Structure 1
């Protein structure tokens, strides 16, 4: 399983929150023997792709919090609206709150959270937005257990359900799905984001009106997708850019398909039922508030590790910081806060 919202190019490959069994022609990165940066940051086991299960250890949130004292268990890249001096937990909550506001969550809403982690976002939907019913879907058993225990200890947390399940399995089990679907920094690592969005269009109860999916997610800035799905045609269209995107996919364990198209072409790349249409309702480019500030956060942790004499940790965190900064300045990847709307034709 992949931990929701951990550095996409550092640890996502090892802890999928959302895992699909359907394959695509752009999944070569998942077959790479190792993800070097993630292996350095945390000693994790390689996935066991048998019976739809993966074998991983828990990720310690302290890797990202450092000396910060916090009762939260957020793990995502953060939305650093106040700059890199923000507390990590505050930046993480800001990212989730941005998704909630973009989704226009209101009291009485039902919300389905894909990749809910340790449950912080579930409690946020309930406390801040007053959502009547909250469902969290997460493939990581240990995180689901922790989320349930934390929710039990809080007041006013009734009607929150945590499902330890693969998101695609969950969608395939339901004939109809009613509610607003959200995801906080977890969608880029589904095996195929387009497959997920196609299936979501099949199960949403559109006869009751339009339904939305809102997320904060990473997209490419170049359309590499060939009509026949050929990797070679994608490569020759722009060899240098494609090679760099492929290397990023390999190092981070990100399914290549998810980095192969712009957000503007998302609608045209979906294959929905004839009676269902989709459009991008709204979008906001937040790249400058994500990659580079998070890189600076990791850089400060690297310096602290160096000062404490932990050289291996310092070098590893420095590698992560430089890698994330490269993403931020490469112009080949952008982070978007966006909402898509499904409606009947």
Structure 2
């Protein structure tokens, strides 16, 4: 099977998955306790006002009709209106997704940039000091919850040492946001030449990115180390050592490339987790991302943002799995031939 046909087959499998995601999202939101019409009308609304709001929101119609209305709205890009902010959910998402994406990308850069080389070196120098350090970091990163790591980082680096900024969002007070090109403040400031905003954005991004990067670096390091240890004991690697091939070629050309399939899978899962599950870090550092937005909506029983968030998370995971499948075919051509 060629690469183009392989990608097309995987893309066709995504469509029924997305349809099932919309059905599950609608069902879960429909079963949530509380009345969305009451939330939108306010606690002092009269029964007549609530019934009128239910009629406007289509809540008095049969469930299949409500689902079709929801599905047709999603296809048009209409995810409803937030009762908390009074704005369309899509507008709120477009404002907040770049903040979450920027934090996720910075965390992934730290996790991949440190975790993969550390795992490789730990496997090559098995039972050495570096291997013990990697295992200690692996256990610590998995064992320590992110909210505790974040609070500890704030206490040490902001309160005690004074080298980190206060956890007050994406920019320091008094710094003007750069012109919106991508929504990522670091990228926009760099493209626009706003060096003060760039420095402030990087400074504010430092602690939350390190907190998340440390927590996801641990499984990446452990996966790379375990896979590399297994591959280094394989017959073809022993044959390469016996043939006198350069150490760099064997470790990074043969062993590392063959261990990338499970690592790519883990990176995809971690990326989806960070896009959806960094809500605790966003709250600790007052980061205005979608996780913070979803928790606020959940506490106020604001149905439309909850539906949008669940659908967004599901779509992110589906697209990540699709991307991982495509990358599989690029890394190992044998996969797309099956």
Q: Flag the structure with larger Rg.
A: 2
Task: Give the TM-score range, shorter chain.
Answer: under 0.3
More strand by share: 1
- Normalising to structure 2: TM-score of the pair? 0.21
| Greater relative contact order structure (CA < 8 Å, 6+ sep) | 2
Structure with the higher fraction of residues in helix conformation:
2
